[in-house]
Structure 1
Amino acid sequence: MNYLIQTHQLTKRFTEQSIINKVSMNIKEGEIYGFLGPNGAGKTTIMKMLLNLIKPTSGEITIQHQSITTTSYEYLENIGSMIEYPIFYEELTAYKNLQIHCDYIGYKDPNHLKKVLDIVGLQKSGKKQVKEFSLGMRQRLAIARSIVAKPKILILDEPINGLDPIGIKEVRELLVMLKQQYGMTILISSHIVSEIESIADTIGVLNHGELIEEIAMCSLREKQQSTVEMIVNDPTKAKQLLEEKFNANVQIINATTLHIQKIVEKPSILTKHLILHGIDVDEVETIHQSLEEYFVNLISGGNQYV
């Protein structure tokens, strides 16, 4: 397996408090890795350590098979990033900001600047100064700046923050295009779980500075279980019948409702069994668990898949 970014037991402490605690993460080359976690979980701190903006207390970071030390910097030329609130030259246009950035990093392809602005939806910003930009426009410019030199790795901290639904869709499509056409490896954090679900190849769930889950989305979808909800006239008897016959995990929700999990049989088979034993079944519905529900369940300390 070709991992482009890896950490091993990565730890960061401020005074006696551990902000990041022994995080070992593995990001494959050419994938979109979605970083999920509540505010204060440590996502931004890890991203800053990957960029050597914050020095780890202990642990290891390997990027492109190179061990990163506190003095490493050459590897950064292959990384584009957007961390926290982006800073620009407020009196200048989007194009001029990109031009200055390219001069600073030594990237010379003036024709590419207009293409990048077009990609992020700022082609019509013209002579408008950045100080006049909305938050969404600033986010788009920050993404443009991070990809203008065609980096191999992209690290984006909350890139869809402040965008309207159309802007979110455009950024989502942009990131997928960067992965597919340019082979970029992308680490992205977001509070919008549904957006991570729609583009990520792998997710890492961080809580209180610890990586509590790292799983490929294809594996997650394979084991994502559904809940069968039934409305019956006698939930206590129905629960007993289903547990004895199918070894099902059955919960009584209220006086008429059952939730059935960890079951391989079709709902129609469950229904037939109950009816044959004198149970009236009024309604049957299959409820699929979303990534958001899975995420909330993990953060709250449970795991419905175990």
Structure 2
Amino acid sequence: MDTIIQTHQLSKRFAKQPVINQVSMTIKEGEIYGFLGPNGAGKTTIMKMLLNLMKPTSGEIKIQNQSIQATSIEYLKNIGSLIEYPIFYEELTASKNLKIHCAYMGFKDQNRIKSVLEIVGLHQVEKKKVKEFSLGMRQRLAIARAIVTKPKILILDEPINGLDPIGIKEIRELLVMLKQQYGMTILISSHIVTEIESIADTIGILHHGKLIEEIPMDSLRKKHQSTIEMVVSDAKNAKQLLVEKFNAKVQIINTTNLSIQNVQEKPSTLTKHLILNGIDVEKVEMMHQSLEEYFINRVNGGNPHA
């Protein structure tokens, strides 16, 4: 895939204090890039710089192979965004809010308004005033406003913040659909790690204004394969059998407990081999490191290869 957003040594200072520190990130066309970081890590600041709402102190931004300058405007036509809490005309309907936005953007396809309300699941309430909308409906309308002009890039700052589990699920499914059916590139920030894990193709972990890691989710899953925990009658002999037969990485916890990594075989295969060689197996459990655990480990200074 081609690169669609790229920053190089991007930095931002406020009163000589570094807020963003030499961030170099790469977002591929057609992917969902999950921007993870604790509150105050600098996610919103980077998004505002991508949208030219805030000027970098130093570094470079390139979007669709265009180097973004302080006066750059035209490139924004290809970007839809939701930064912080969305503001609407409360006494107007969803349709009228979108019409005003289209007029502001110089977008003249009025049929698009009806279709985009269908895309985000608001077509049945298009004539309802926004002041009567729930938080989830407001987030859907904000995304509708972001995509109504058919942008190629969608930048969303905490779009699931404050939603209930049903609302989160609906927004998650909507974003995946926008990627799969419309080929949109989506940059989404969040501190709710479990939701990013379920939709992101790539994650970037931001901490204290620094990008401490950028990694495809596929690579992360391969690097942190599931661990098999076993309770056996003789841990020492069990380890020897598993290492010799399967070249497994086995750690002895105590005389009866084992932790097994770096093995392709199913737990049932390992169990059968031990039993046939005189080792009783009392318990077998698969342990998987979640992205949340990985994220917490990284921001706390943990070794990414541990």
Using structure 1 for the length normalisation, give the TM-score.
0.88
> What is the match of residue 51 of structure 1?
51
Contact 1:51 1:76 in 2 (8 A): yes
> What is the match of residue 157 of structure 2?
157
Contact 2:35 2:189 in 1 (8 A): yes
Contact 1:242 1:248 in 2 (8 A): no
Deviation at 1:260, TM superposition (A): 2.8
Q: How does 1:1-306 map to 2 (within 5 A)?
A: 2-233=2-233, 237=236, 241=240, 246=247, 248-250=249-251, 252=253, 256-264=256-264, 267=267, 271=271, 280-303=280-303, 305-306=305-306
Contact 1:36 1:190 in 2 (8 A): yes
> Aligned equivalents of 1:28 and 1:295: distance in 2?
22
Contact 1:294 1:303 in 2 (8 A): no
CA offsets, 1:17-71, max 9 Å, x none? 2111111111111111111112111111110110011111111100010101112
> Aligned equivalents of 2:241 and 2:207: distance in 1?
36
> Aligned equivalents of 1:255 and 1:87: distance in 2?
62
Contact 2:229 2:260 in 1 (8 A): yes
Deviation at 1:179, TM superposition (A): 2.0
Worse-matched range after superposition: 41-50 or 125-134: 125-134
Structure 1 unaligned spans of 5+: none
Contact 1:238 1:274 in 2 (8 A): no
CA offsets, 1:125-173, max 9 Å, x none? 2443222222212111111110010001110111122333333333223
Deviation at 1:267, TM superposition (A): 4.1
> Aligned equivalents of 1:52 and 1:242: distance in 2?
61
**Secondary structure of 1:225's match?**
coil
Using structure 2 for the length normalisation, give the TM-score.
0.88
Q: How many aligned positions are there?
A: 304
Worse-matched range after superposition: 123-132 or 34-43: 123-132
Q: 1:212 to 1:249 in 2, by over 3 A?
A: farther
> Aligned equivalents of 2:17 and 2:292: distance in 1?
29
Amino acid aligned to 2:42: G
> Aligned equivalents of 1:130 and 1:208: distance in 2?
37
> Aligned equivalents of 1:258 and 1:115: distance in 2?
56
Contact 2:242 2:270 in 1 (8 A): no
Contact 2:238 2:274 in 1 (8 A): no
> Aligned equivalents of 2:132 and 2:237: distance in 1?
64
Amino acid aligned to 1:173: E
> Aligned equivalents of 2:251 and 2:40: distance in 1?
36
Amino acid aligned to 1:248: K
State the identity %: 74
Contact 2:243 2:250 in 1 (8 A): no
Contact 1:239 1:251 in 2 (8 A): no
Amino acid aligned to 1:188: I
**Secondary structure of 2:125's match?**
coil
Contact 1:156 1:189 in 2 (8 A): yes
Q: 1:153 to 1:258 in 2, by over 3 A?
A: same
Contact 1:251 1:258 in 2 (8 A): yes
Structure 2 unaligned spans of 5+: none
